[in-house]
């Protein structure tokens, strides 16, 4: 359970970092799944040579989206009680899983994701009614390009244009002098609302770094034309995944962690 100070910080600054949200075995399982995705060649380099089109031969921002259909472990994660409790406290009850994705920054040539507000994509009526949960799958530091956020930026809407360093993203130019880097050990998470401007940096270290992001949206704020997932995680439409996936997923996280570790 989050305390009132933590909930208040999310609502006033637009973000909340929670170190050690996931335990060491859970982190090991996440890293094992990332290793499998790499072995299976599932990651796609979205970095471009500054023209928004030509894929870069020298820099890599490796994206995998969505995740739920490629990993039973990651499909189970957003149903876990500590996740749904925190999300419910931060954005309010009745919400769906909206989106899940991963960005991996390879050692030395890993590239960041440019500044953006998720609400430039999602366009919900109140940017505090949706939140990302960004998981540091490895230690996330200044040197390897950890997540940066601009506190209180959800109160402003920055113009977005095509990001010349990605083959499909958009970007904005927020007041970077207000930016705060969030350094976290592996297993820590950052919740940031749909209006919070955020970015990640280049990975200058000898080790890869990945962030796994789940986006949660209040059911009463789902836009008409929403094209992403709508897995109900709380409220009367929530069936523990049975409705959306044809099988009960809620409550399987701990066994998924052990299954993945046993196979690794």
Q: Interface with ligand AKG by CB under 6 A: which residues? A: 101, 103, 113, 118, 132, 134, 198, 200, 211, 213
| Residue 50 falls in which region: left (phi positive, over 0), alpha (psi -120 to 50) or beta | left
- Alpha carbons 169 and 116: distance in angstroms, whole number: 9
- Alpha carbons 30 and 80: distance in angstroms, whole number: 14
CB of 201 to ligand AKG, least distance (A): 9
Q: How far is CA 227 from CA 75, 79, 158, 242, in A?
A: 18, 21, 23, 20
CB of 169 to ligand AKG, least distance (A): 8
Smaller CB distance to ligand AKG: residue 137 or 238?
137
Smaller CB distance to ligand AKG: residue 141 or 200?
200
DSSP of 192-258: EETT--EE---B-SSS-EEEEEEEEEEGGG--TT--S--EE-SSTT--TTHHHHSS--TT-HHHHHH
Smaller CB distance to ligand AKG: residue 88 or 112?
112
CB of 264 to ligand AKG, least distance (A): 23
**Structural tokens at position 124:** 């919900």
Smaller CB distance to ligand AKG: residue 184 or 213?
213
**For residue 184, which of 43, 52, 18, 56 has the smallest C-alpha distance?**
18
CB of 33 to ligand AKG, least distance (A): 16
CB of 147 to ligand AKG, least distance (A): 6
CB of 68 to ligand AKG, least distance (A): 15
Backbone angles phi, psi at 253, to 5 degrees: -55, -50
**For residue 181, which of 258, 123, 112 has the smallest C-alpha distance?**
112
Smaller CB distance to ligand AKG: residue 151 or 240?
151
- Where does the chain show beta strands of DSSP type E? 15-18, 44-45, 62-64, 95-105, 130-136, 148-149, 161-162, 170-171, 180-181, 189-193, 198-199, 209-218, 231-232
Smaller CB distance to ligand AKG: residue 131 or 219?
131
**Structural tokens at position 251:** 């409550």
Question: Residue of minimal CB distance from ligand AKG?
Answer: 213
CB of 36 to ligand AKG, least distance (A): 19
Smaller CB distance to ligand AKG: residue 113 or 231?
113
Smaller CB distance to ligand AKG: residue 9 or 200?
200
CB of 200 to ligand AKG, least distance (A): 4
Q: How many Cα neighbours within 13 Å face the side chain of 15?
A: 24
């Amino acid at each position: 359970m989050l305390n009132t100070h933590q909930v208040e910080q999310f609502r006033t600054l637009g973000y909340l970092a929670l170190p050690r949200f996931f335990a060491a075995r859970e982190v090991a399982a996440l890293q094992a799944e990332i290793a499998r995705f790499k072995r299976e060649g599932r990651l796609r380099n979205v970095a471009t040579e500054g023209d928004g089109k030509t894929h870069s031969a020298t820099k890599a921002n490796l994206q995998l989206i969505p995740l739920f259909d490629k990993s039973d472990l990651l499909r189970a994660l957003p149903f876990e009680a500590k996740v749904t409790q925190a999300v419910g406290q931060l954005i309010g009850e009745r919400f769906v899983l909206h989106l899940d994705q991963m960005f991996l920054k390879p050692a030395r040539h890993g590239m960041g994701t440019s500044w953006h507000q998720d609400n430039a994509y999602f366009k919900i009526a109140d940017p505090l009614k949706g939140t990302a949960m960004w998981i540091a799958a490895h230690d996330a530091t200044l040197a390897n390009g950890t997540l940066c956020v601009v506190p209180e930026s959800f109160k402003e809407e920055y113009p977005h244009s095509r990001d010349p360093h990605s083959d499909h993203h958009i970007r904005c130019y927020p007041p970077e002098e207000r930016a705060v880097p969030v350094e976290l050990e592996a297993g820590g998470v950052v919740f940031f609302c749909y209006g919070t401007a955020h970015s990640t940096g280049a990975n200058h270290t000898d080790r890869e770094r990945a962030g796994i992001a789940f986006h949660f949206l209040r059911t009463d704020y789902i836009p008409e034309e929403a094209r992403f997932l709508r897995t109900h995680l709380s409220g009367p439409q929530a069936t523990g995944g049975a409705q959306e996936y044809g099988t009960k997923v809620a409550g399987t996280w701990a066994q998924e962690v052990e299954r993945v570790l046993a196979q690794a």
